[in-house]
C-alpha cells in the first residue's frame, strides 16, 4: 500500500487511492476524505459513493459532525451509533436516514500542515471499535505522508509548467514583435501585477491568443501584443 500511495503523483489520485484502501482495510461500507481548503472552507476530494458526499455536505451545512470535529479538535472520533450519539444530535439522525449508523473520523496532517480528515462509515451499529480506531490511526499516518509527498510533487510540477509557459510566451512575443527577452518578460510581469493574476496564467493566455506569424516591425512608441492588454514598453 505504501509503495502504491507514494507512486501517485497528484493530490487527487492519492486521495482516491487512500479512500479505497481505507474502506478495504477497516471493512467499512463507505469512506471519504474531507479536505480543508481554507480555515472556513472544506471539500470532499474523494468518496467511495455519492452518499459520502452528502454526509460531508450535511456536516458543512449544519457545522456539526465527526469529520468536522476531528478536523478542529485535533483528535479522532468514534461514533458507535449515529442515531443516539449526543455529540452530534443534528447530524447523527440525518446520517442514520442515509443508512449510516457508525462512523470513524481521523485527522490527516503532517508536521507543516493539516490536510483534512479520513472518514469511515458503517451501515451497522457498532461497526467500528477500538481496534479499528488503532488501525485507522496507523493508516492515517501513512496516508498523511503520501499526501504530503503528493502535495510537494504537484507543487513542483505546477512550477515547472508555469516556467515552461513563460518561456513559450516570451518566445512568441519576441518572434512576433521583434522585442528582446527582457521586454517580453517585463510585459508578462507587469500584466501579472496589474491584473493580480499568476504569471503562468498570463503566459498561457498569450500563447492561446497571439497567433504565430512573421516578425512584425516594432513601430515607434509602445507595442501592444494583445488587443486588450497593456503595451510593452
Going residue by residue through the chain (233 aa), what tens digit of pLDDT does each one get? 444 445 545 777 888 888 898 999 999 999 999 988 666 678 898 899 999 999 999 999 999 999 999 988 878 999 999 999 999 999 999 999 999 999 999 998 877 778 889 999 999 999 999 999 999 999 988 888 877 766 555 444 444 445 666 677 778 888 778 888 788 888 888 887 888 877 777 777 887 776 554 444 433 334 444 444 444 44
Strand pairing category for 30-38 and 77-79:
unpaired
- H or E element, residue 104: strand 102-109
Helices 66-73 and 50-62: crossing angle in degrees, nearest 10, is: 60
- Cα 61 to Cα 15, 115, 150, distances in angstroms: 23, 20, 29
CATH architecture entry for 2-154: 2-Layer Sandwich (3.30)
Domain ranges of the chain: 2-154
Under 8 Å CB-to-CB from 213, ≥6 apart: which residues? 176
Cα(212)–Cα(12) distance, integer angstroms: 35
**Alpha-carbon distance values, 17 to 34, 35, 108 (Å):** 14, 15, 15
Amino acid at each position: 500500500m505504501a509503495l502504491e500511495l507514494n507512486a501517485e503523483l497528484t493530490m487527487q489520485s492519492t486521495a482516491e487511492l487512500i479512500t479505497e484502501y481505507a474502506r478495504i482495510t477497516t471493512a467499512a461500507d463507505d469512506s471519504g476524505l474531507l479536505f480543508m481548503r481554507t480555515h472556513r472552507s472544506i471539500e470532499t476530494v474523494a468518496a467511495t459513493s455519492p452518499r459520502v458526499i452528502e454526509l460531508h455536505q450535511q456536516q458543512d451545512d449544519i457545522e456539526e459532525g465527526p469529520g468536522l470535529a476531528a478536523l478542529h479538535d485535533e483528535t479522532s472520533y468514534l461514533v458507535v451509533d449515529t442515531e443516539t450519539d449526543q455529540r452530534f444530535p443534528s447530524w447523527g439522525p440525518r446520517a442514520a436516514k442515509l443508512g449510516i449508523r457508525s462512523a470513524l473520523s481521523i485527522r490527516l496532517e503532517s508536521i507543516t500542515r493539516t490536510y483534512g480528515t479520513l472518514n469511515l462509515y458503517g451501515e451497522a451499529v457498532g461497526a467500528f471499535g477500538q481496534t479499528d480506531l488503532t488501525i485507522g490511526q496507523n493508516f492515517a499516518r501513512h496516508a498523511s505522508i503520501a499526501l504530503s509527498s503528493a502535495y510537494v510533487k504537484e507543487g513542483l510540477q505546477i512550477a515547472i509548467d508555469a516556467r515552461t509557459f513563460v518561456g513559450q510566451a516570451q518566445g512568441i512575443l519576441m518572434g512576433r514583435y521583434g522585442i528582446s527577452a527582457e521586454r517580453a518578460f517585463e510585459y508578462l510581469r507587469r500584466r501579472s501585477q496589474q491584473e493580480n493574476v499568476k504569471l503562468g496564467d498570463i503566459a498561457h493566455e498569450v500563447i492561446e491568443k497571439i497567433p504565430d506569424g512573421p516578425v512584425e516591425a516594432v513601430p515607434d512608441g509602445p507595442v501592444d501584443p494583445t488587443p486588450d492588454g497593456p503595451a510593452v514598453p
